[in-house]
Amino acid sequence: MSAAEPRNGDREDLEGARSGQRRRPNGDAGAGAKTRAKTAADKRRAILDAGVRVFARQGFHACRVADIADEAGVAYGLVYHYFASKDEILDTLFLERWAIMLETIRQVDAQEIPAREKLAAIASFIIDSYTHNPDLMKVIIVEVTRAANSFGQTHLAQIRQAFTLISEIVTKAQADGEFKSQITAEFAAIAFYGAIEQVLTGWIFGLLPRGEEHYEQAKRLVVETICGGLDAPGGGS
């Protein structure tokens, strides 16, 4: 359950001895008016948001740190005040978003609804994530998966976590008789996620038509395709 939490501690050694932010001893920031800490946090966020746009537009490798600073409307050096490296910006974007996804999956799984509805909720969440912020999803799919190589084990552990959570949903449904057992839960999770990601990839590269009705249709079809093959033959509907 809380397996992801200890991993946060892994990153504390990222603070170098010389550069970078010191953790404020008492992080108590005033509420209401724009405090200094508040505007500082705004700048950090502005850099992250700019990173999303620039990475999506030019690609992680092709863009320069100066492009991110320009897009955010801050000085070049400020990027290095908030982040240790260009990589760390991408890391942060991925980990932020992925944590939200993992949390959503956990919440969905906690509900007392059929597995089919759980998968539908997960598919909806991911597709809504795309419609809400296509650039961010593009960056995560195109730049992070690609770099999972070079990036640390952290990313792979996070990705594995998502597959584990989904396959647990399938395993339980198989035990309940809602899903058949010929297909391993692990494989079902891979196929389910793979189908969704390919749909997003299709939209990202213009291989599939975009638009509200297509997004809604995709949500239905992912579940219909995957569950049509997972539903127990003798079962209800």
Partner DNA sequence: GGGTGTTGACTGACTAGTCAATCTATTTCC
Partner DNA sequence: GGAAATAGATTGACTAGTCAGTCAACACCC
Residue 54 CB, nearest approach to DNA (Å):
10
| 123 touches DNA (CB under 7 A) | no
> Binding of its own copies at residue 222 (CB under 8 A)?
yes
122 binds DNA (CB under 7 A): no
Contact 171, 185 (CB under 8 A): yes
User: With respect to DNA, which residue has the nearer C-beta, 39 or 225?
Assistant: 39
Regarding 66 and contact with DNA (CB under 7 A), the answer is yes
Q: Is 211 helix (H, G, I), strand (E, B) or coil?
A: coil
Q: Which does 21 bind (CB under 5 to 8 A by kind): DNA, its own copies, none?
A: DNA
Q: 141 burial class (0-12, 13-18, 19+ CB within 10 angstroms)? A: middle
| Residue 29 touching DNA (CB under 7 A) | yes
How far, rounded to the nearest angstrom, does the alpha carbon of residue 149 sit from its chain's CA centroid?
A: 17
Is 98 a residue that touches its own copies (CB under 8 A)? no
Considering CB distances under 5 to 8 angstroms, the limit depending on partner class, which of DNA, its own copies, none binds residue 75?
Answer: DNA
Of positions 52, 54, 56, 74, contacts DNA by CB under 7 A: 74
Q: What's the rounded Cα separation, in Å, for the pair 187 and 201?
A: 20
Neighbour-count burial for 83-102, b at 16+ CB within 10 Å, e otherwise? beebebbbbbbbbebbeebb
21 binds DNA (CB under 7 A): yes
